Amino acid sequence: MQENRPLTGLSIVNTRANHQAEPLTDELSAMGATVLHYPAIRIAPPADFAPLDGALAALLQGKFDWLVLTSANTVEGLAQRLEMLQIAGGLASTPARIAAVGPATAEAAARRLDVHANLIPEEFVAESLAKALALQVDGRILLPQSEIARPFLADALQAAGAAVTQVVAYRTLTGQGGDPLPQLFWEGRIDAVTFTSPSTVHNFLKRLKAEGGNPGMLVDVAIACIGPQTAAAAVSHDLPRPLAAEESTVSGLVQTLVRYFHAASPKVRAT
């Protein structure tokens, strides 16, 4: 492999939703990889907007002490609803403090909601966010999330004494389009698959099976996960030896693949 493009000659699958795929694709391509796209998920609005609309109105009226943002998809869901409600200025007028699970979510919040994070945990996962918040909250928290979000964060904050209001900001559905992955698996043309959330793991396998593939196709490829919860989802589906990024970011995920293939370089096929 070339030293400055260490993923040259490798075909790596990006399973992110179409609207989020570009940053990972760009970083993988910069490292020399051929990137295949197979969106495992797509994001849809809530089936019922009433709870979200009520929560946003309360947030703007100062009825929450904290707004907790657990993903860029949450940010986008809030931003799109504010636009539909013709509320100008995003959430800039809210007096609530902002907690974001990581820098990518914080950047999205600044760009789309015009708010700046007061708290970002040292590790960019829900467990670290809960620990950091538990040290300083006992008030009212708004927690907008996916319809299928795991209950860990809400439970942890409630146990710390906070009054938590959970609302659905978006739904996570199975993705569509992209490259013909089952065929490419059969042809042995895939070296790695990346996952950036537990839902990408679950929906990837659901989609793969529906399109004639099966989990056994992943036996001889690298499984790279953005963090421990995503790796745990891969393990729950019996996917082989998932790699968990040390830093739960796109760059951390890419560097995990670089280290893995550097260690396995004698086995990597020639360019």
Q: Write the CATH number for 64.
A: 3.40.50.10090
- C-alpha triplet 116, 120, 125: angle, nearest 5°: 130
Is residue 51 domain-shared with residue 92, that is, in the same domain? yes
Q: What is the pTM of this model?
A: 0.84
What tens digit of pLDDT does each residue of 14-24 get? 999 999 999 99
Among 224, 220, 233, residue whose Cα is nearest residue 269: 220
**Does 2 fall in a domain?**
no
**Does 1 fall in a domain?**
no
pLDDT of 240 > 60? The answer is yes
Give the Cα separation of 223 and 244 in Å (integer). Answer: 9
Among 136, 131, 122, residue whose Cα is nearest residue 153: 131
Is residue 69 domain-shared with residue 115, that is, in the same domain? yes
**Does 3 fall in a domain?**
no
**Does 245 fall in a domain?**
yes
What tens digit of pLDDT does each residue of 28-56 get? 999 999 999 999 999 999 999 999 999 99
Give the Cα separation of 253 and 196 in Å (integer). Answer: 8
Give the Cα separation of 36 and 41 in Å (integer). Answer: 15
Phi-psi category of residue 178: left, alpha or beta, with phi > 0 → left and psi -120 to 50 → alpha: left
End position of a domain, from candidates 173, 208, 243: 173
Work out how many domains the chain is built from and give that number. Answer: 2
150 versus 271: which is more confidently predicted? 150
Is residue 209 domain-shared with residue 98, that is, in the same domain? no
**Does 4 fall in a domain?**
no
Is residue 86 domain-shared with residue 146, that is, in the same domain? yes
**Does 5 fall in a domain?**
no
Is residue 141 domain-shared with residue 64, that is, in the same domain? yes
Is residue 159 domain-shared with residue 206, that is, in the same domain? no
Residues in the chain: 271
3-class DSSP state of 146: strand
Helix axes 250-263, 21-30, angle to 10 degrees: 30
When the pLDDT of each residue in the chain is averaged and rounded to a whole number, the result is: 92
- Beta partners for residue 192, in sequence order: 12, 222
Is residue 114 domain-shared with residue 224, that is, in the same domain? no
Query: What is the average per-residue pLDDT within 122-146?
Result: 83
Structural domain of residue 48, as residue ranges? 44-173
